[in-house]
């Protein structure tokens, strides 16, 4: 058995083309750790920011650096016996605030794992851990979305947005989606009652909402916040990458100077939240939406595709 593995790497910050498929030592699980053979991972916005050098706090250390946050695969080996896991168990999970799941193997703690949904192809499953847990946290835990409330999802055709539309419907909300013109029928099929082209629709055209979920990078938080009904809640999982400090300052000020607070969080899910996502999928409330599957050798193309926009759901990278 080889002591090396294939992995996506980059030797400098820059555009997608800095990424390449290289080789690293195969990790060995220590006590209390799990070695997972990765079937697939997905491309997330935070990885684009890190690759460009915009999140150096999360990519400490020298080059080469790695990419990938979530994964779906099978348990390969255990650093110590565990009753809930055994080699061959299908799992999915997240690396937390680290990068490196775009590789043949990852070592994680059990708290970063949950059983993958029964009957779901693991390549398809890889589209969900990051965005699915984010959508659950945003709507259920932060906004406390209730049946009958009006929910606006900004960026409804993307990774988090496509799950949020499905969850909003499952929670009994009346869902409105903002997306590109080519994706309006797609968002309606996911469960939105109303859909609008974000390029030609202004906030003034939309009315009032009890909950607004912002998943779209760029300016505009203030204009959408003004659409909140009394007691309304706005959750943002994205901000303007060109004005990071100003965006975060606005979110912070909303909690102090206004009743319509904007909630922002960075996902770091553990087992209970991943297990909740598994249950939502197995119940039929949520399904993965995969735009394109790329081989690991095309990791640069996968990053480029996400940067170009217009994605329906997620771009997935097949490792095997």
Average pLDDT for 199-226: 88
Q: Which residue(s) pair with 36 in the sheet?
A: 75, 106
| Mean predicted lDDT score pLDDT of the chain | 90
CB 212, CB 191: distance < 8 Å: no
Alpha-carbon 55 to chain mean position: 17
Question: Rounded to whole angstroms, how far apart are CA atoms 39 and 33?
Answer: 19
Q: pLDDT at position 218, please? A: 65
Helix 129-136 vs helix 271-283: crossing angle, to nearest 10: 90
Q: pLDDT at position 58, please? A: 59
Start and end residues for every CATH 3.40.50.720 domain found in the chain = 130-264
Start and end residues for every CATH 3.90.180.10 domain found in the chain = 4-128+288-318
**pLDDT bucket at 195, cuts 50 / 70 / 90:** very high
Phi, psi at 91, each rounded to 5°? -135, 160
For 4-128+288-318, CATH gives 3.90.180.10
Instruction: Please write the tens of the pLDDT for every residue from 127-138.
Output: 999 999 999 999
Q: Which of 13-22, 216-225, 284-293, 301-310 has the lowest mean pLDDT?
A: 216-225
Question: Rounded to whole angstroms, how far apart are CA atoms 316 and 293?
Answer: 5
**pLDDT bucket at 83, cuts 50 / 70 / 90:** confident
**pLDDT bucket at 254, cuts 50 / 70 / 90:** very low
For 130-264, CATH gives 3.40.50.720
pLDDT reading at 249 higher than 50: no
Average pLDDT for 221-232: 91
Q: pLDDT at position 320, please? A: 80
Q: Which of 102-116, 163-177, 221-235 has the lowest mean pLDDT?
A: 221-235
């Amino acid at each position: 058995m080889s002591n090396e593995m294939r992995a996506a790497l980059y030797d400098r910050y820059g555009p997608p083309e800095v990424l390449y498929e290289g080789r690293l030592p195969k990790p060995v699980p220590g006590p209390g750790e799990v070695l997972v053979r990765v079937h697939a991972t997905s491309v997330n916005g935070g990885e684009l920011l890190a690759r460009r050098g915009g999140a150096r706090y999360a990519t400490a250390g020298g080059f080469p650096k790695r990419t990938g946050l979530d994964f779906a695969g099978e348990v390969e080996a255990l650093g110590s016996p565990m009753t809930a896991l055994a080699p061959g168990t299908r799992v999915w999970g997240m690396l937390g605030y680290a990068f490196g799941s775009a590789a043949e193997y990852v070592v994680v703690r059990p708290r970063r794992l949950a059983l993958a949904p029964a009957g779901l192809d693991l390549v398809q499953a890889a589209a969900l851990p990051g965005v699915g847990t984010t959508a659950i946290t945003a709507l259920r835990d932060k906004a406390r979305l209730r049946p009958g409330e009006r929910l606006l999802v900004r960026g409804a055709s993307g990774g988090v947005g496509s799950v949020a539309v499905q969850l909003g419907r499952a929670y009994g909300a009346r869902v409105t989606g903002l997306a590109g013109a080519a994706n309006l029928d797609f968002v309606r099929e996911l469960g939105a009652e109303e859909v609008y082209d974000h390029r030609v629709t202004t906030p003034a055209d939309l009315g009032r909402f009890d909950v607004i979920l912002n998943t779209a990078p760029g300016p505009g938080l203030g204009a959408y916040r003004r659409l909140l009904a009394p007691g309304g809640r706005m959750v943002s999982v994205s901000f303007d990458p060109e004005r990071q400090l100003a965006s975060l300052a606005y979110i912070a000020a909303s909690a102090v100077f206004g009743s319509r607070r904007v909630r922002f969080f960075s996902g770091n899910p553990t087992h209970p939240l991943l297990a909740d996502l598994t249950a939502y999928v197995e119940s039929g409330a949520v399904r993965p939406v995969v735009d394109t599957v790329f081989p690991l050798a095309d990791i640069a193309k996968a990053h480029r595709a996400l940067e170009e926009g217009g994605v329906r759901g997620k771009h997935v990278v097949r490792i095997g």
